[in-house]
A and B are shown apart, each in its own frame.
Chain A
Amino acid sequence: MRKPKRLGEELATWGVTFISWSAIGILGGVLVFLLYKGVGVLSWSFLTEPMRDGMRGGGIAPAIVGSLWVTMVAILIGGVIGTAAGAYLSEFAQQPRLKRFIEFLVTTLAGIPSIVYGLFGLALFVTALGLGASILAGGMTLALLSLPLLIRNAQEAFSAVPSSLKQASIGLGASETQTFFRITFPIALPRILTGLVLATGRVLGETAPVLFTVAAYYLPTYPHSVLEPTMLLPYHLYALITSGVNIRETYPMAFGTALVLLILTLCFTLLSAYLRYKLKKRYRV
């Protein structure tokens, strides 16, 4: 079946191969570069101590803690609402038109730029609800941002549960909600958690929505409640690069911060990829 190859086609094949691998190669370059520049900065004290002397010395612990707090709030709120909404779309929606409309809304929300969510968070949570710049305000803003991803993921997870199982449960006399909580939900749970892990990685790296809703420029203490502002890794990195008193002095700190942020997001992204791979193998879907 294979014909003798023509030169143009050979070149085209080489072209797409080259493009694909160079896009990935640049990614590799970024990772290696940041690792090379940042690994010297990393130390136990860098990870566990607060900043000192403006931003020139000390560690980045408050930013790490702040980022984890905000992400946790976002994923908790987004996870609950997203999973419930996904369950509705997959299991309980009876009118197809309403279902399609909500799916359309999810698509629309997914396309809204993150900075616009930041504006919304500023107007609603920070100003109108009077939360001020706080972990709660920022977390809720990020929850809204990650909701489309979480809803879609939950919907797919519930839809992937074999309907034979659901029907068997109904046939044994269980109600719809009983079937959902005892059969569908436990089976779909690993996939839902995988989606949550992926969303965690995305939320950790988001900068634009938290600029006005939670991020503090320099606040080397640990937050005591969710109603306080906090430093965040991405914003701290941004601040280090763009508005440090002496850029040269803060550069090593910036490389260290970038590497920590990169490793954190990478862990979550790779973990979700690994979980999905495992699930695929187990369920063959």
Chain B
Amino acid sequence: MKDKWAKRVFQAAAGTTFLILLGLTFFLFREGMPALYRSPYEELVFAVHPANPVQQLSTNAVRSLVRGEKSWRELGGPDTPAVAVHLGNIERYLSGPFLPGQLQRKLDSLAHLSGIFLALPASLMPGFAKRIRVPWRGGAEIFGSSRWSPTYEPVPAVGFWPLLVGSLWVGAIGLFVVVPLGIAMAIYVVEFLPARLYYPVKVMWEVLAGLPSVVVGFWGLVIVVPWVQRLFHLSAGETALTAGLLLGWMTLPLMASLVEEALQAIPQLLYESSYGLGATQWQTILRLKIPYILPSIATATLLSAGRILGETMVVLMVSGNAPILPLSPLDPVRTLPATLAAELGEAPVGSYHYHVLFLMGVFLFLLTLALNLTAYFIRPRDEKA
């Protein structure tokens, strides 16, 4: 009887892994999905002058109208300059002490402006205005737009592209560093490292793997960033390249130890026969050992990619944090995890910004999950034990 209960407890502990994965998926989706069907301006009403024939505007049209990039004429309206009034600039139309009644009267007095565009809560909307629709298509905004500006008034821009491309740049540079260097380190340790140095070197790898990322980020900020800036004559050294280099270096222990494990597992008979046939050490490495462990190298690469894409603090500190579409590795970038870290603290729980950040979390989760699952299933059979 006691035996049975003890076993149940152990089984339950193992079962928590399932619960964690289930709970993680559930909560991420629960908080993230509203970003797809809710709108960021649910409490706002959009309106124009009654003489304005426009019935509906796209979110892009509203943004360019507010920024003054487009006139009403281009949007099918009257030939007058646009005057946008929204919560972000309403102070400009107020003078003196703020009282609700005064605000209403002030807004009513704007009725003579035929180019007016209003984006206000329904309670503030003056009576003269004609309401128009600004439909929000969450999916298209999130996956189709190349701007990320989630607190922009009155219509935020929440395109994931700049951040995803930022992540891909950093990931590509990181892999470019970690794959060849990691393989080289593994070869060195297996083939050339004197046995008495083996343990110290492995400890060093472990120290590097255990280095707090915020410390690496700090060092990068103080040393690597100015160095990149001087080397490439940039105005700022916080670039995708800086982040990629640091992340690649940080991930070396993971890559190198996975490749090393694979090299150690090569049957002795194989490489002894290669030597027996007169091949040199390097011929054996390049023509026998590396081809033999290619599947393991692929696995290690995918796992390293997952690690690099998910790393947060280093990128947050050294990549410049600019959520714009990066065109070269010397541009400042903002990655998906860095955006989460930088903005989630400021987004009120339950706001659209909060939900869209959780959707980004879902996206990041699925991205790394896909990498890890692929790594798991292409892993050489005998290692799967």
Contacts and interface: CB of A to CB of B under 8 A. Distances in A.
A144 B340 contact: no
B47 interface: no
Interface residues of B, number: 84
Contacts of A128: 27
Contacts of A177: 2-3, 6-7
Interface in B341-380: 341, 344-345, 349, 357-358, 361, 364-365, 368-369, 371-373, 375-376
B interface secondary structure, majority: helix
B99 interface: no
Contacts of B371: 111
B201 A211 contact: no
A207 B11 contact: no
7 contacts: A1-B275, A20-B189, A102-B17, A119-B27, A119-B357, A151-B17, A270-B203
A284 interface: no
Query: Which 9 pairs, one residue from A and one from B, show the smallest C-beta to C-beta distance?
Result: A113-B310, A205-B212, A84-B13, A111-B372, A88-B10, A208-B312, A123-B27, A16-B188, A88-B14
Interface of A: 1, 3, 5-6, 8-9, 12-13, 15-17, 19-20, 23-24, 26-27, 30, 33-34, 80-82, 84-85, 87-89, 91-93, 102, 104-109, 111-120, 122-124, 127-128, 144, 147-148, 151, 175-177, 180, 198, 201-202, 204-208, 211-212, 234-235, 237-238, 241-242, 254, 258, 261-262, 265-266, 268-270, 273, 277
Given A27-B207, A85-B10, A269-B210, A114 B344 contact: no
Given A19-B181, A105-B17, A107-B372, A114 B310 contact: yes
Interface string B15-58: 11110110110011011000000000000000000000000000
A15 B317 CA distance: 31
B255 to A, nearest CB: 11
A108 B372 contact: yes
Contacts of B241: none
A113 B367 CA distance: 10
Given A24-B201, A207-B214, A109 B376 contact: no
Given A208-B312, A258-B218, A85 B16 contact: yes
Contact of B313 (A6, A26, A238): A238
B185 A89 contact: no
Interface of A is mostly: helix
Contacts of A115: 310, 312, 337, 340-341, 361, 364
Contacts of B312: 113-115, 207-208
B281 A9 contact: yes
B333 interface: no
Contact of B192 (A13, A27, A92, A266): A13
Contact of B215 (A85, A93, A151, A237): A237
B195 interface: no
A9 B280 contact: yes
Contacts of B30: 123
A124 B11 contact: no
Contacts of A30: 211, 215-216, 219
